Structure formats: C-alpha cells, structure tokens
Structure 1
Amino acid sequence: MIDLLLRNATLPDSIPADIAIHDGKFVSVGKGFTGDAAQVLDLGGHLVCPPFVDSHFHLDSTLTSGLVRHNASGTLLEGIQIWKETKTLLTEENIYQRARKLCEMAITQGTLAIRSHVDISDPNLTAVRALLRLREDMKPWMTIQLVAFPQDGFLRMPASHELLVRALDMGVDLVGGIPHYERTMQDGAASIDDLMRLAADRGLPVDMHCDETDDPSSRHVETLAAATVRFGLQGRVTASHLTSMHSMDNAYADKLISLIAEAGMGAVANPLINITLQGRYDTYPKRRGMTRMPELLRAGVPVALGHDCVMDPWYRLGSHDMLEVASMAVHVGQMTDEQGLHDCFSGVTQTAAHILNLPDYGLAPGNPANLVVLQARSAIDAIRLRPARLYVLRHGRILSRTEPRLSHLYLTEEKLLDLSDV
C-alpha cells in the first residue's frame, strides 16, 4: 500500500495522470494506477507541476520597505542608498525573522527553492549569519542557496575581498559580484577577474549581478563570458539582470548572445524589478528594461526568472508569487506565442531548477515527491489566472493547503463559478 494517491491530475504538458507517492518519493506518474493507498485525493483535473523556483532574490532586505524611507525616484541607485541606511539598524534576529516570514509566504505560493544574494558589505556579516541559520532551519521545507554579494562594490569597498572570503568560509554557497557598480569600467572588469579566480580556486559556482543599467555601453557580461571560458567555469556561471542588453545595438547584442551561449552560461531576468527600476531616466518612449529573453532562449541560453525583491528599498510591492513573475515576463518580453508562454512557465520551474542545479527535480518516479496543485487546467492558464495553490507538497507531505477560489454568481439563479474552467 502506498502512502498517497493523487487521482485525476493534469500534468504541465496537459496529459492526465494519477500520481502515486510512497516514503516521500514518486512511485508512479501516469494513467490508471491500480494499487491501494492510505490516502486518496481526487484533484478533479487540476494542474500538478513541480514546485516553483525563485532563481534570484534578496532575503536580507525583504520586508524592510519604508523602514527608513521609500524610494522616491524609483531608481536602483536610490535603492542602494536607502539599503545602506537601513542595514545599520538591523540585527541578526530581525533579518532572520523577516526572511523566515518571506519563506513561509513563498511556501504557501508553491515556491520550495530560493537562491538568495546576501550582502557581505557589513563588517560584522550580520546578514550572512542570519541567512546561514535560516538556510539550515528551513531545510525540512525548502531549499535555500546563498550567494556572497558585495553590494557596495568588490573593489569600490576596500574590505570587500576579506569579507567575501570570510562569508565563503562560513558556508555561503556561491560567489557573486556587481561589476557595473564599480567606479570605472576597468574596475568592473578587474572585479570580475578577481571573483572568477576566487570561484575557480574554490570550485564554487558564480551568480553575478551584471549590467543592471539602461546604459548600452555597460558590457561586463562580455568580460564575464570570456572569464568563464578562461577559468574553465562553463556550466557554473549565471549572469543576472543583463538589462543593458535591452538598450544595445542589435548587431552587438547578437554577437554578445553568441558569446554567452558559447561560454555555457545561464541568465536570470527579474521582470518585476527590471521593468520598475529601468527606464527611469527616459521621458518618452520609455524602455522596458528587461533583458532579451526570447533571443537568449533561441541561442540555447537557459533563462530563468527571479522575483528579486518583495517590499524592500527597490520594490515596495510583491507577494512572492512566481506566476506573477512569469506573467510579467510574458507581457514585457511579448512572449504570448505558445512556445513563449511555456518558456516563461519553465523559467519559474524546470529552467530555474536547472540553473540552481537542483538534484532530482521534477515529476518522475524515484524523485522526491515535491509538487504544487494549482486551481488551473494548464500551464498557460496558470500564468493567465495566477490561481490558488490548492496543495503544496514536499517529500510527500502536505505543507500548505488553500481552499479553491469559487464565486457565487447571482443572475437568474445562484451559480457557482470556478474560474479554472473558464
């Protein structure tokens, strides 16, 4: 007898299936399971997908919006200044509790893996200590990866090298950077070289904030791609944001995309934040700001989507709904064709898991039974409706349950309307 049987599920490829789970793993994913189960849930044709994955976030700054002041200009640079003022007020416990609250919110939304950048610019590494503790405490329920992020600049702040190394020694998982925030283009290139050498020496992956600006002359991702090849880090480097690519000349962008693909790099777009922070210096027309996601995908570059911020100095909105992120990518990237819609859904599921190198991810026998049941009938409808997460499971255990969203419609007589059938 198995532990749990989910009958009448619909998989992301629109195929109906029964899903059998035992000892925290998938036993069978397909039609017509005939064995006995201790518990049976009839899903009534609702969508089942792997858990959502947020490939780019900042847990240390989340839920601090307005603590000092709000970002009046809406720019990246004012956000950085507000964060400098804010982080002097924060304690390890305060950071931990806010980040934990965000993680709990995320679980109810079906997100069970987050890659978070953590600011290492504080001499006491307060945020690092808080998030390392959180990573361990949350392991039963979700996976957290931490990136050592020199928010104030790796060369711009003299102590950053020592602090970043200390953070890695404490157990932070990846090497990060922010070359476009260095004082000069040359310093930005030099910071990439130093950080990539450090990652290669330690055998660590890299996830670098890169070219998060409207300036088309910000081309640090070119340097990053070359360093990826030079240090033999193919398949282990992610470039996040890449918003300057939106403003580049098409001929150069085409060359750049081929270099990124050749280097075996991954990319992360953060559409909610990119569309908000970029174009702030424009009058009209205003640039969208998101990187060239369709072109990168056509070149074979895996592109994931991140939420980046929730209620912090850069973005005072957000509920950590990865389907909202996917929906924004669809609209901003004009990816409304069949393939584009599925690419955006994959950007918060399969592709994101690939970039995070999550083992045993997906709805397949033998994998951990991690899944989300959505009040929708297809992946495209999930983006369209941003529906209720009826169940969230990790290792076969129900972590979260939400009642279906049903409307009572009064016209000639009362009618119950389930939008997932519309």
Structure 2
Amino acid sequence: KRVLEEIRWEVAQGTLHIRSHVDVCDPNLTALKALLEVREEVRDICNLQLVAFPQDGIMSFPNGRELLRKAMELGCDLVGGIPHFEWTRDMGVEDVHYAFELAKEFNRDIDCHCDETDDPLSRFTEVMAADTIQQGWQGRVTASHCTAMHSYDNAYAFKLIHLLALAQVNVIANPFDNVVLQGRFDTYPKRRGITRVKELLAGGVNVALGHDSIMDPWFPLGKGDMLAAAQLALYLCHMSGYDEMNDVLDLITTNAAKTLRIQDSYGIDEEKSADFLVLDAPSAFEALRLAPARLHVFKNGREVAYTTPGRSVLRRQTDEEGAEVTFRL
C-alpha cells in the first residue's frame, strides 16, 4: 500500500521510470515479493526496475549469497551489492565479484551501493570499474552514492574518474540522503557529503541523480520530486552557472535514461515512446528555480496525471480584491 501511494506521488510529478533497491536480507523476501507484484500492477503508469539489494551485506550476512541468488531467480531486474558495509576489505572485494558472477549468470545489469561513507580508505568503486572492464560489462554497471569520493585526495580521485569513464560505469548521486547522512562525524568544516558530480561529468562519466529515501529512517522528509533533487544538487555541487543548470536537468532526464538503459526509446522523437510532461515554466532555468507544477504527464501518448496550479494573492489594506503573485519577473 505504501509503495503504491509513493509511486502515485512520483508519477504525478512526472517520473515515469523508477529504479528501486529492495532489501533482500529478509529470509522470507517479503518486501521483494510484494514489489514484484507492484511492478506488474503499475505498468500502465510507470516502468519499475527492481534491484536485489543486500542491505546487510552479501558475505557478512547469514546466507547472503543464497538470498541474493534467490532474489534474482524470483525476477529482480538488477543485481545489487554493498561492498563498503562488509566486515573486511577482502569481503568487500568478494561482494563485488559475486555481484558480477550473478549478473553474468542471469544476464542482468548491476547497481551497487558503493563507498557510501566518509572513509577515504573505502575504495570499492575502483574494484567495480576494473571488474566491469574485465567482465565486458561496460555500460551495464552503476555505482550509487560514491560519497567517499568527497574525501579522496585529488590525485586518486582523478585517477578513479578516468577509470570510471574507461569502464563506462554510471554514477548516481543522491543529494537528499547524501547531505543528511554524510559528515556526521565531522566537527567543522563539515563535508557536503555528495560525490564529485562536476568533476565526474567533466571527466566523461555519465552521472545521474536519485531521490533515494522518502519518509524513512535515513531521510524523514521528501515526496519523490526529482526537480527538488536537482535543485539541491545544483546548490551542493556549485552548479549555479547558466550552462551548468542545463547540465543539472540532464542528470534527471537524458543521463538518467542512459543509466536505466532506456536511452533508445527515451526522448521526444519519431518512433519513440510518447512519454513526456508539461511544466508550468517557460524555460529550463525557470523549471529549476520554481520546481513548478507538472501540468500534464503522458505515458505512451496517454495522459496519466495532471496538476492544477495553485494561486497566490496578496491583499494590501487599500486593495480588497488583491493582486495575484506569480513568483516570476
């Protein structure tokens, strides 16, 4: 019930393609079985990809390997992992290797929570990139979070960025959770907590944004608004230049489509799915500034959601009827 309601929120705000990481460390796989049903139920309004996510580790959790394999057998779309959460460095490396083993066996893509920590010695993203090249999985692997990159020295960070570009590994930053969860052990100055988005883009890495948590223990707020996530990324990543703002919009549109591997059917063009939304804004700049109403949302040429914009009126003492406030110059 909660998942269906949250999907309704996202679709109403123009999100038609969702990738969700479902915890598969429950021996009964209760959440996964429920989400597999949801995936079928919502096909008319959105495409839902499910990642088998070993929240408590693959190697460090009892029967972790078997549960991850069972999740793939039940029908998960992608293999997940969490190498930095394993007990030792060696177990973390084994976590990555096993994710690739399953991905090749089931012919699935990979999306791992990777280096989601402030620890500058957490360096599993390089292992993912190396495995991607060695296993021939270029373009099919995503490293999510990668927040340790904000703690790496520049020499290592730029070596890693080159390796990620070479391996065609996608990176997903999650600004809401990243800024809330990271830097909590810092006094001052406090780290911003988000990976090096600008530098990754400049280095030729495909970067996208996620919303991540919504009203849960990691992030108690949120409503699934990707424009709000883009706004926050703009602030955190110092991407406030006019051209950079267009790049920020790419992070939740074309770059995200490439990450989801739907780029061939994505966009407004002949022979492509008529999936699009109409914003109450005259430009990309205004869309980011206002995060306005999604007036119309279409999937496969059918309107699946619409929003009637609110109206603000300012009433002065000398003006009984008042004047409309549009928040636009």
TM-score norm. by structure 2 comes to 0.96
Whole-angstrom distance in 1 between the partners of 2:311 and 2:283? 18
Unaligned 5+ runs, structure 1: 1-96
Partner in structure 2 of residue 377 of structure 1: 282
Q: How does 1:23-422 map to 2 (within 5 A)?
A: 97-358=1-262, 359-411=264-316, 413=319, 414-419=322-327, 421-422=328-329
Whole-angstrom distance in 2 between the partners of 1:294 and 1:369? 31
Unaligned 5+ runs, structure 2: none
What is the deviation of 1:158?
2.9
**Greater Cα shift, 296-305 or 377-386:** 377-386
Greater helix content: 2
Whole-angstrom distance in 2 between the partners of 1:364 and 1:407? 36
Percent sequence identity over matched residues? 49
Assess if the C-alpha contact under 8 Å between 1:243 and 1:289 holds in 2. yes
What is the deviation of 1:338?
2.2
Whole-angstrom distance in 2 between the partners of 1:170 and 1:417? 52
Assess if the C-alpha contact under 8 Å between 1:294 and 1:340 holds in 2. no
Aligned length in residues: 325
**Greater Cα shift, 163-172 or 390-399:** 390-399
Greater strand content: 1
Whole-angstrom distance in 1 between the partners of 2:274 and 2:67? 38
Assess if the C-alpha contact under 8 Å between 1:405 and 1:418 holds in 2. no
Structure with the bigger RCO (C-alpha within 8 Å, sep 6+) is 1
Assess if the C-alpha contact under 8 Å between 2:168 and 2:206 holds in 1. no
What is the SS of the residue equivalent to 2:60?
Answer: coil
Letter in 1 for 2:314: L
Whole-angstrom distance in 2 between the partners of 1:338 and 1:263? 30
Whole-angstrom distance in 1 between the partners of 2:89 and 2:242? 40
Whole-angstrom distance in 2 between the partners of 1:175 and 1:328? 28
Letter in 2 for 1:287: R
Structure with max Cα Rg? 1
Letter in 1 for 2:213: C
Q: Deviations over 1:178-234 (max 9, x none)?
A: 000000111101111121122123221100100000001100001111111111111
Runs of 4+ in 1 over 4 A off after TM superposition: none
Partner in structure 2 of residue 46 of structure 1: none
Letter in 1 for 2:267: G
What is the deviation of 1:418?
2.6
Assess if the C-alpha contact under 8 Å between 2:72 and 2:106 holds in 1. no
